[in-house]
């Protein structure tokens, strides 16, 4: 099982971190999954709700790959947001 916990905040180009809860990577990822328009919409919406409510998600490798694909394919966020979520998910996947 993969444990997704993206409680860190989004960082701007200059490295400064916003302290607003809406800029936590978990909040950004849950919003992305809810609005992605790709993949298994039922499963991704369930994951979005779990991450939104709990800030965390446990998922298998297949679900992690689906989440990573949604991040890669989304058009709702800029590359800075996508890169930070991508990098955090890559670390989770490589811990196995």
Distance between CA 12 and CA 64 in Å, rounded? 25
Q: Judge contact between 2 and 61, C-beta under 8 A.
A: yes
pLDDT in tens, the chain (96 residues): 899 999 999 999 999 998 888 899 999 999 999 998 888 999 999 999 999 999 899 999 999 999 999 999 999 899 999 999 999 999 887 765
């Amino acid at each position: 099982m993969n444990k997704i916990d993206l409680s860190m905040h989004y960082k701007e180009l200059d490295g400064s971190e916003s302290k607003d809860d809406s800029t936590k990577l978990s909040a950004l990822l849950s919003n992305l999954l809810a609005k992605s328009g790709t993949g298994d919409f039922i499963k991704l919406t369930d994951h979005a709700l779990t991450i939104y409510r709990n800030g965390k998600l446990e998922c298998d490798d297949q679900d992690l790959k689906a989440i990573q694909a949604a991040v890669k394919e989304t058009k709702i966020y800029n590359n800075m947001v996508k890169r930070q979520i991508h990098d955090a998910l890559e670390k989770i996947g490589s811990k196995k």
